[in-house]
């Protein structure tokens, strides 16, 4: 079983020293756990990557951030859905990630604060992401991106849009997503105790977001979506972390997509833990992952534009 890369181990050692004595946020009352998770995630916003513009906005009634890179081509934009187990984190905790995504893709990134579990379980967060999507400026060609639970919400939004007969995103960028609620997969067994994310934490997140009777809904667990729904998705870019309990989620989804004859791009990044792309200030693998995602995004959107198949965001 492969262990952490030297860079990843250095970060894990740093976290162990800085967070010694802190509680597991998922074991605290939700408001206290959320505050602790926000504080520990904000450390990754030191030395933020420079961009042309970064401002706070109200978008479709939701607080958000609008980030424009220096290399904006004026054509595309991305709605970026932050992770955090559907319960934690915010546009503030993911500022660095949103900036790196904008710079790597060469287009603006919009990110919004959506309602969080357990106070607001499914479908509240998904409804907010759809509301944000429908409020996007149709003058640009829009894509969706998300990490972890944000990848779940981004993919669920695309499935819901398709079911409603609405125009799809140009592409989806899905980073170490949670796509199913099977806690007996190979990666859950191998990485039950982390490092970082654990099986017990994910089970608590799931209980907060979507109790067991809801988990057959493909907008809750996209890996159970029908073949026709998966086949109709726009081109995807997916990655997964080699030391992540959720690794099997992505590998199962990729296997289903390939069985349908699709050729979506997938990177398995070895030696890193769940959430590693948050760690761009300290982890070269995080910065490299954004560059890989950006290269895939530019290739996919360029191909779509040449073929005349790209769709714009917003309601028709």
Q: How does pLDDT run across 255-300, given as a tens digit for each residue?
A: 999 999 999 999 999 999 999 999 999 999 999 999 999 999 999 9
**What are the structural domains of the chain?**
6-18+26-305 (3.40.50.1820)
* Model pLDDT for residues 211-227, shown as the tens digit of each residue: 999 999 999 999 999 99
In tens, the pLDDT along 155-179 reads: 999 999 999 999 999 999 999 999 9
pLDDT confidence bin for 229, thresholds 50/70/90: very high
DSSP type of residue 84: S
Contacts of 80 (CB under 8 A, 6+ apart): 94, 97, 98, 101, 109, 110, 111, 145, 146, 150
- Mean pLDDT score, 43-61: 97
pLDDT at residue 27, rounded to an integer: 98
Chain Cα centroid distance, residue 138: 23
Tens-digit pLDDT profile for residues 124-153: 999 999 999 999 999 999 999 999 999 999
* Confidence band for 316, pLDDT divided at 50, 70 and 90: very low
Average pLDDT, the chain: 95
Within the chain, residue ranges assigned H as helices are: 6-18, 30-42, 95-105, 124-134, 149-163, 186-190, 199-209, 227-231, 247-259, 284-307
Q: Which residues pair with 66 in a beta bridge?
A: 55, 110
80-105 tens-digit pLDDT: 999 999 999 999 999 999 999 999 99
d(CA 266, CA 280): 20
Does the pLDDT of residue 2 top 90, yes or no?
A: no
pLDDT of residue 306: 75
């Amino acid at each position: 079983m492969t262990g952490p890369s030297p860079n990843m181990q250095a970060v894990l050692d740093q976290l162990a020293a800085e967070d010694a004595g802190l509680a597991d946020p998922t074991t605290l009352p939700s408001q206290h756990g959320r505050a602790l998770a926000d504080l520990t995630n904000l450390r990754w916003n030191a030395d933020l990557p420079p961009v042309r513009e970064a401002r706070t906005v109200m978008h479709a009634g939701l607080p958000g951030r609008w980030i424009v890179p220096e290399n904006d081509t004026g054509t595309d934009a991305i709605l970026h859905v932050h992770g955090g187990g559907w319960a934690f984190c915010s546009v503030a905790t993911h500022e660095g990630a949103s900036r790196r995504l904008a710079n790597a893709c060469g287009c603006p990134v919009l990110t919004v604060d959506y309602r969080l579990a357990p106070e607001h379980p499914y479908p509240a967060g998904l409804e907010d992401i759809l509301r944000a999507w429908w409020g996007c400026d149709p003058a640009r060609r829009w894509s969706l991106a998300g990490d972890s639970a944000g990848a779940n919400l981004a993919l669920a939004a695309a499935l819901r849009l398709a079911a409603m007969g609405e125009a799809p995103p140009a592409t989806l960028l899905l980073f170490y997503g949670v796509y199913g609620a099977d806690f007996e997969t190979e990666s859950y067994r191998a990485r039950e105790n982390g490092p970082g994310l654990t099986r017990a934490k994910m089970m608590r997140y799931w209980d907060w977001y979507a109790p067991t009777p809801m988990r057959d809904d493909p907008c809750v667990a996209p890996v159970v979506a029908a073949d026709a729904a998966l086949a109709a998705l726009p081109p995807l870019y997916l990655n997964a972390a080699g030391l992540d309990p959720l690794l099997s989620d992505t590998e199962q989804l990729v296997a289903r997509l390939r069985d349908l004859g699709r050729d979506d791009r997938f990177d398995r990044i070895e030696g890193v833990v769940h959430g590693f792309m948050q760690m761009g200030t300290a982890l070269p693998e995080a910065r490299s992952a954004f560059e890989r995602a950006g290269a895939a995004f530019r290739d996919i959107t360029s191909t779509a534009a040449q073929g005349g198949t790209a769709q714009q965001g917003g309601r028709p």
